[in-house]
Amino acid sequence: MDSSVEETVPETESVAFMKLALEQAKLALDSLEVPVGCVIVEDQKWQKNGLIREEVALKFSKCTLYVTCEPCIMCAAALSIIGIKEVYYGCANDKFGGCGSILSLHTNSSGKVTCSGISKRKEFKCTRGITASGAIDLLRSFYEQGNPNAPKPHRTPVQRV
């Protein structure tokens, strides 16, 4: 785990926003989707949730993202490119985490990302572990019940002896 990710006792406000993210994750679970929820907060006000994608002109440099699971590598890179101010997340993403578990794309020590003329990433602060057990419980529930929306395998699995 990356030492540049803070692990602090969360403030009441952070917990309140993370509970809103958990509610979004629960809505996803109820819809048989992967239960990862997020909320975007600007000036201590909930601006949007992860289910609404209409507004792309948010001033992300003034926004904080609360998300139930550590952003994956691709999402962490995107957050860096758009200049998000801060990210709070619940549980770690030990397979694809981009904010300390696998890569640390929230810091400039990860190098530059260049894509279609975008050459500069911005660092953002990360704090992990807020309501992690609730996020883990939702993910566990989802994977225990099976994913009915998962694509059907195209080939027969190989049986190993």
- The yes-or-no answer on residue 13 being catalytic is no
CB under 8 Å, gap of 24 or more: what pairs does 112-121 form?
113/77, 113/80, 113/81, 115/81, 118/81, 121/77, 121/80, 121/81
Which of 6, 11, 33, 55 is labelled catalytic? 55
Report the chain's C-alpha Rg in angstroms.
Answer: 17
> From CA 77, how far away is CA 15, in angstroms rounded?
25
Residue 81 and residue 71 in contact, taking contact as beta carbons nearer than 8 Å = no
Q: Which residues are catalytic?
A: 55
